[in-house]
Amino acid sequence: MSKATPPAESNHRPGFATRAIHHGYDPADFAGAVAPPVFFTSTFGFGSLEEMDAAAAKGGKLYAREHNPTTEILETRLADLEGAEAGLALATGMAACGTLMLGLLSQGDEVVVHRTLYANTVALMRDGIPRFGIKVVPVDLSDPANLDTVLTERTRLVYFETPVNPTSEILDIGAIAGRARKVGARVAVDGTFASPALQRPLEHGADIVLHSLTKYINGHGDVLGGALLGDRETIAHLHSHGLRYLTGATLSPMAALMILRGLKTLPLRMEAHSRSALEIARRLQAHRAVAWVNHPFLDSNPNLAVAKRQMSNGSGMLAFGLKQGFEGARRLLDGLRLAHKGVSLGDVETLVNHPASILRARQQVRPEAKPIDGVGEDLIRLSVGLEDNDDIWADLAQALGKV
Ligand code: PLP
């Protein structure tokens, strides 16, 4: 916590919202500027070679691919909010994913992944890291016992998202981590759909958390970023190997500032996203054109108890299918007026996506593109924004009337 934060009692730990606004930055260090400065510099200069040697010897600031004071405020703050010892910010969520995989895994290692993941993470697992002699083993982790059937002495990492993109299913972090630990495999959780305001996987036994900062953490759809959070030693390794020379995927300091700004309202936004999405999910469930709806906090979620154990709220993401399947989904998307058709999520604007349509379009240029396990042709993904709930529903209801 910064010196500027009022320490009401010496043993009082400020709450999440306070830390999201203040942690890791003291205006007194920067001429009293309440908003952190943005350091635009490629290199750091030294008065003498001795000083430069000393900085190099203790891993200090030499060059901005590895160090930037603005980005370090973001890393410190995110680590604190996630309950991690350290954090590393990267250029995008995929940069974080690539840095994690290339930084931790070597030829001959195995990584177990849940069968359903974000589409480009699937591409990394199918076409990317196997080229380096790393074996990827997809499995259905919705039953954590399935993990036991694929773990070997070569399993180094178990990787999954919860809630899962795009299905919004919930995976049991504690049960999966407990099983992975028996063979000494590490567990990395992509918590993008929940953000640390709702879910902190390290508290449930995970070792590393990944976020696409592009989504809820920035929250305003105007910048890309990614982060890895975990123990000091692992993050230092990912920094000095993964970021420094394997990917070089540095976050811009301007993006770091914008993400710090978005982060200040994260708890408020997540509460509003969650409330509105649950309301929309219930309304969809009651509509005659709708076949099924997934939202973590819906009573019909078969993993509701797990969701309530590891999440403080259900988040703004939901998935649903229409009785009229693929064609119905296309008609619905075409009928929407307020919700933007878009592939991102977690913004203040409501965004809607139909993965099967994207796949068909991609297959025209890449015929080898395959569907993702667990994602049906009817699945519609909705990222419920912060517009008035009645307006979001009115838009959906008029479009549903046309399918
Ligand atoms: N993880 C999840 C769950 C995502 O949804 C995404 C992007 O949609 C990513 C990772 C990748 O993040 P980025 O787009 O910032 O590279």
Atom of ligand 1 nearest to the CA of 165: 3
Ligand 1 within 6 A of 346 CB?
Answer: no
- Asked, colleague to colleague, whether 14-263 and 266-400 share their fold, the answer is no
**Residue 7 binned pLDDT confidence (cut-offs 50, 70, 90):** low
Q: In the CATH hierarchy, which fold is given to the domain comprising 14-263?
A: Aspartate Aminotransferase; domain 2 (3.40.640)
Half-sphere exposure of 318 (CA within 13 A, CB side): 29
Mean pLDDT of the chain: 96
Query: Above pLDDT 90, what percent of the chain?
Result: 96
SS percent in the chain: helix, strand, coil, step 5 = 40, 15, 45
Rounded to the nearest whole angstrom, what is the distance from the C-alpha of residue 389 to the centroid of ligand 1? 26
Q: Are 243 and 250 in contact (CB under 8 A)?
A: yes
Ligand 1 within 6 A of 218 CB?
Answer: no
Give the domain ranges of the chain: 14-263, 266-400
**Residue 368 binned pLDDT confidence (cut-offs 50, 70, 90):** confident
| 178 backbone dihedrals φ, ψ, rounded to 5° | -60, -40
Dihedral of alpha carbons 72, 74, 77, 81, sign: negative
The beta-strand segments (E) located in 154-308 are 155-161, 186-190, 208-212, 226-230, 290-294
Decide if 330 is catalytic: no
Query: Above pLDDT 70, what percent of the chain?
Result: 98
* CATH architecture designation of domain 266-400: Alpha-Beta Complex (3.90)
Which strands form 86-90's sheet, in the order they lie side by side? Answer: 86-90, 226-230, 208-212, 186-190, 155-161, 110-114, 135-139
Residue with tokens 């994690």: 100
- The 10s digit of each residue's pLDDT in 155-172 is 999 999 999 999 999 999
Angle at the Cα of 400 from the Cα atoms of 290 and 347, rounded to 5 degrees: 90
Q: So what's the pLDDT on residue 4?
A: 46
Dihedral of alpha carbons 270, 274, 280, 285, sign: positive
Q: So what's the pLDDT on residue 184?
A: 96
Question: Which two structure tokens, joined as six digits, stand for 321?
Answer: 């299918």
Decide if 215 is catalytic: yes
Q: So what's the pLDDT on residue 148?
A: 97
Decide if 65 is catalytic: yes
First to last CA, the chain: 52
- The 10s digit of each residue's pLDDT in 269-311 is 999 999 999 999 999 999 999 999 999 999 999 999 999 999 9
What would the mean pLDDT of 200-206 be, rounded to a whole number?
98
Ligand 1 within 6 A of 169 CB?
Answer: no
What would the mean pLDDT of 43-53 be, rounded to a whole number?
96
**Residue 8 binned pLDDT confidence (cut-offs 50, 70, 90):** low
Q: Which of 215, 251, 375 to mutate to test the pocket of ligand 1 (most atoms within 8 A of CB)?
A: 215
What would the mean pLDDT of 72-91 be, rounded to a whole number?
98
Q: So what's the pLDDT on residue 6?
A: 52
Q: So what's the pLDDT on residue 334?
A: 97
Q: So what's the pLDDT on residue 11?
A: 86
Ligand 1 within 6 A of 161 CB?
Answer: yes
Atom of ligand 1 nearest to the CA of 213: 15
Catalytic residue among 77, 80, 109, 118: 118
CA distance 169 to 116: 10
CA distance 164 to 191: 9
CA distance 304 to 333: 28
Angle at the Cα of 227 from the Cα atoms of 226 and 228, rounded to 5 degrees: 145
Q: So what's the pLDDT on residue 24?
A: 97
Decide if 395 is catalytic: no
What amino acid occupies position 363?
Q
pLDDT at 2 over 60: no
Q: Are 314 and 307 in contact (CB under 8 A)?
A: yes
What would the mean pLDDT of 80-88 be, rounded to a whole number?
98
